[in-house]
Amino acid sequence: MPRIIGNPKKSFVTGNETAAWACLVAGADMMFGYPITPQNEIMHYWTRLAPKHGRGFLQTEDELSAGFTVCGSVQCGKKAFTATAGPGNVLMQEPFGMAEAMRLPLLAIIQQRGGPSSGTVVYSQQEVTLTTFGGNGEGMRIVYSTASHQEIYDYTIKGFNVAWKYRFPVFILGDGYQAKMREPLEMYDPEDRGIEMIKPYPLIGLEGKISAGREPQHLCNIYSLEEELYEVVMKVAAEYEALEDTIVEYDEKYCNDADIIIVSHGVVSRAADDAVKALRAQGIKAGYFRPITLRPYPRKQLRAAIAKSGAKKLLIAESAYGQLDRLTKQEIFGENVKIENLFKPGVGIIDYDIISKVKSVL
Amino acid sequence: MLAPAVPKSWYLPSKPHKFCPGCGHGIVLKALGEVIDELQIQDQAIFGCDIGCSLLAWDFFACDSTQTHHGRTTPVMVGIKRSRPELTCIGYMGDGGGYSIGSQHLLNAAVRNEKVTLILVNNTNYGMTGGQMAPTTLPGQKTETSPYGRDPETTGYPTMGPEFLAELTPDSAYIARATVSKYKQLKKYLKSALKNQMEGNGFSFVEVLSTCPTNWRTNAQQSWNFLEDEMEKYFPVGELKNPLGKGDK
Amino acid sequence: MSFSINSTGRIIEAYIGEYASGKSEMAINRALDLKNQGRQVTLVDLDTVEPFYTLRTLKKVLEAMGMKVISFAREDSFGLGETGAMLNPKARWALMNEGDIIMDIGYGVQGAKTLNLVEGANESSELKILAVINGTRPMTDSKEKIREYLTELGRVDAIVLNTHLGDETTVEIIKMGNDLIQEVGCEMGIPIAYMAVNEDLHELVPAEKYAMQVKYIKRYMPGAMW
């Protein structure tokens, strides 16, 4: 693949543009999408860039269709992606479920907006439950929650490789603020960082003629017997769990001695980072823990942080009414730590909010 | 100064309305308001709005009204009509909501000859999300997701809604295409579409060609030219089905 | 063609340019400047895609200073669920206001055509259309791309050099980007209106070292939630 960026350089960009460029340099072949705020500029930039680089785009009739066209595209060996938000993410749970069931390596960028229903178009962290455990399945997905444009770029590139290597659907979970925010980004071609992009490969439409002896492929997505499905799900679960240590990512600061650990993800973790520094400067022993992958969740690492810090409390801060909270509680069940929360559904959280909350509970 | 005459069925606290200057929605809603007055159905009308610019009409009328979901106004109206047939259900949507994300509902409601009235405003783009390509975008027309012009080779030709709905419906359905440039005709079609529902005949549908200066980036003259010279040539205006009497096709 | 930012007559300027190129920042700074000179100023938000209504507090500050601001406050236009492209009816008649008019124009495939929405803009002899360009934006980071972009824009009376990299701006970055833009401007016969530099870099980028007008600006967008 010819290099697109050339010499790595810093650019001043928005998060949506970042996502479009990252998909381009990662070698994505196709985007399927449907207009929904706040992800529109991903499509706007992809439709400007794609024809210049021989890539494809289709604006489908809705998000169900966008999700399923991506499923079809990856089945026949193309690196395909979509981007959506809010009610669009709800509709895409049906195709995302198919991707989970059939182990299809699709990549979806989710720019969370306010909910429930049409909610707001602005911002939230209310699509955590949906993106990690949506659909009638077991949440066999890989979800990266990004906090900066650089991370949107890096994890989108990585996400394609993780998807195609392990064959689980991958989600880049951003939000409306990250989508619209402007900040510097270092753009690069993956090969210049020693990242080898995994070549996509077809699951159907394989090379060779069936009439000349090639085995036909029959991809299965429904089972007649309970036992059959049971075996399939158990096998997938085992494979997923075996990968956890490889895939899990997190960030941890000041947890060697902390009375309280602030757990947050995505853009809120930027405020948590500032808050912890400010609290430390005031002599308050606060720690910082941020799951970067929400699925699989860095449960061992958070348990270890609690153990070594001796923290008596966790403060879970999120722009939702307890979605990270529920996720975290189920992952660290049994820990002897009191859990406080700072829930601001659909509203931004700044360092001041966290500092005040910490002071009020210590 | 005399206040401008406004339909009795308008909800005055929501005026002035929120549509952009030069937008055609205001004309459609004025005609609809007058028709609601003339048919005296303010108390029995249920007005349902899609998501998109049509949503800005959600508190336009002093009628019971509900917002729905993008593309889902048709089934919400059908649910109401099936449960309370004495109500007159008016679904109001854009070309994206009706012909794209809500197309399966539109198609199946037509096939079942659901006794609701649907008004679909066609302005050739997704206005509210910032001017993306719609099913009705004309060949060669530039939008945010067809920045080099709509190419029918890869994205097909504009959806001809009334034409395909006419194929799907029995003769008791009312199907028409109007334009905001012909007000009297628009009003007549809307009235027929409501009467057809009220008489219990069947599915009633009016597509209305309309203007979107904000996303077209056109001044008054250019907007009108695009409507009359481009859109009305591509999308023929007239009644395709009228069980109430003779059509004027 | 020449361009002077110190005109004594009525000033009507439209800031156009690529997405996130700095149109709103330029328009706000310019309007503030003129206001501080004791002039009567109307600031008009014509960015239908991303209006600067996120700068709610700023709108109030500007209005408190006596500046007329034509834009949607978020609370005026919201409560409507889905939202995005909207045009404030007052913006259509913006040129009817007395005094200086500074307009922030939206981006998009139709970009500068947004001026069609302003009554009298096409006939105005006072109107200057200024293209804001940041040489670190991916779509305008080479001479070829800048030329392609300027050509697409249509009428441009002058260019505002706005190369920066947010918090990571350096003198070298400014120079590298602005040199490219200037060369293209020169080749296309489009004058430079002024160079915008973050006020924090005043000492590193002294105005007297440049042959063009240098305008020290305050960046307001980082103060918005996004």
What token pair was written down for B93? 């949507």
Please write the tens of the pLDDT for every residue from A117-167.
988 888 999 999 999 999 999 999 999 999 999 999 999 999 999 999 999
Q: With contact defined as beta carbons under 8 Å apart, do B51 and B73 qualify? A: no
pLDDT of residue B24: 97
Tell whether B14 lies on the interface with A, counting CB pairs under 8 A. no
Residues of B in contact with C122 (CB under 8 A): 219
**How many structural domains are present in chain A?**
2
Instruction: Name the one residue in this structure whose structure tokens are 């824009």.
Output: C153
Looking at residue A307, which CATH number applies to its domain?
3.40.50.920
Residues in chain B within 8 Å Cβ distance of A87? 69-70
In a domain, A85, yes or no: yes
Which pLDDT score is estimated for C1? 47
Residues A40 and A149 in one domain: yes
What is the H or E stretch that residue B49 is in? strand B45-49
The answer to whether residue A245 is domain-embedded is no
What is the value of pTM for the model shown?
A: 0.92
Q: Are strands B132-133 and B125-126 parallel, antiparallel or unpaired?
A: antiparallel
From A193, A218, A236, give the residue that closes a domain.
A193
Amino acid letter, residue B221:
Q
- The answer to whether B64 touches B73, Cβ cutoff 8 Å, is no
Mean pLDDT for chain A? Answer: 96
The CA distance from C140 to C134, in Å, is: 7
Flag if C137 and A176 touch (Cβ within 8 Å). no
Does residue A93 form part of some domain? yes
What lies within 8 Å, CB to CB, of A276 at 6+ separation is A253, A254, A262, A286, A287, A288
pLDDT one-digit tens code per residue, A243-279: 999 999 999 999 999 999 999 999 999 999 999 999 9
Res B249 pLDDT > 90: no
Question: Cβ contact (<8 Å) for B71 and A62?
Answer: yes
Structure tokens at B24: 């055609």
Is cis: bond before A38, omega within 30 of 0? yes
Residue contact A62–B133, C-beta within 8 A: no
Residues A31 and A103 in one domain: yes
Give the model confidence (pLDDT) of C73-90 as tens digits.
Answer: 666 654 343 445 577 888
Q: Chain C: residue nearest A175 by CA?
A: C226
Find the domain containing A351 and state its range. 251-361
Rg (CA), chain A: 21
Q: For chain C, which domains are there?
A: 12-223 (3.40.50.300)
Subunits touching A (CB < 8 Å, at least 3 pairs)?
B, C
Q: What pLDDT sits at residue C90?
A: 87
Encoding tokens for residue B5? 């005459």
The stretch A55-61 carries a mean pLDDT of 96
pLDDT tens, N- to C-terminus, chain C (226 residues): 456 767 778 999 999 988 889 998 899 999 999 999 999 999 998 876 665 545 566 788 888 888 998 887 666 654 343 445 577 888 889 999 999 999 988 777 776 788 888 999 888 999 999 999 999 999 999 999 999 999 988 889 999 999 999 999 999 999 999 999 999 999 999 999 999 999 999 999 999 998 899 999 998 876 555 4
At residue C220, the pLDDT reads 80
Q: Write down the pLDDT at residue A39.
A: 93
What does the alpha-carbon distance between residue B172 and residue C74 come to, in Å, rounded to a whole number? 46
Tell me if the bond preceding C222 is cis, omega within 30° of 0: no
> For residue A116, what is the domain's CATH number?
3.40.50.970
Whether residue A43 sits in one domain with residue A167: yes
Residue C211's Cβ-count burial label (10 Å; 0-12, 13-18, 19+) is: exposed
| Pick from A15-29, B44-58, C55-69: least confident | C55-69
pLDDT of B245 strictly over 90: no
Q: Which DSSP category does A163 fall into? A: H
Average pLDDT over residues B195-215: 97
Q: E strand or H helix at C174, and its extent?
A: helix C171-188
Domains and CATH numbers, chain B: 23-241 (3.40.50.970)
Same domain, A160 and A274: no
Query: CB–CB of B214 and C110 under 8 A?
Result: no
Chain C residues close to A121, C-beta within 8 Å: 81-84
Q: How far is CA B137 from the centre of its chain?
A: 16
Residues A137 and A260 in one domain: no
Residues A188, A256 share a domain: no
Q: Taking CB atoms and an 8 Å cutoff, what residues of chain A touch C81?
A: 118-121
Q: Report the pLDDT value the prediction gives residue C75, as an integer from 0 to 100.
A: 60
B89 phi-psi bin (left φ>0, alpha ψ -120 to 50, beta other): beta
Segment A34-38 shows an average pLDDT of 93
3 state DSSP class of B115: coil
Q: How many residues does chain B have?
A: 249
pLDDT > 70: percent of chain B: 97
Using CB atoms, pick whichever of A11, A21, A177 lies closest to residue C225: A177
pLDDT higher than threshold 70 for residue A54: yes
Q: Which residues numbered 127-156 in B keep a CB inside 8 Å of some CB on A?
A: 129-130, 132-133, 135, 144-148, 154-155
The rounded distance, in Å, linking the Cα atoms of C19 and A44 is 11
Summarize pLDDT for B64-99 with one digit per residue, the tens: 999 999 999 999 999 999 999 999 999 999 999 999
> Per residue in A275-323, pLDDT tens?
999 999 999 999 999 999 999 999 999 999 999 999 999 999 999 999 9
How far apart CA B214 and CA C51 sit, in angstroms, is 13
Q: Is B246 exposed, middle or buried (0-12, 13-18, 19+ CB in 10 A)?
A: exposed
Contact A13 C137 (CB under 8 A): yes
Asked if A57 lies within 8 A of B71 by C-beta distance, the reply is: no
Is A41 part of any domain?
Answer: yes
Rounded to two decimals, the ipTM of the complex is: 0.87
Write out pLDDT tens, residues A188-198.
999 999 999 99
CB–CB of A56/A47 below 8 Å? no
Please list, in sequence order, all residues whose beta carbon lies within 8 angstroms of the beta carbon of residue C127, skipping any fewer than 6 positions away. Answer: C12, C13, C14, C115, C121
pLDDT digits (tens, 9 = 90+) for A206-240: 999 999 999 999 999 999 999 999 999 999 999 99
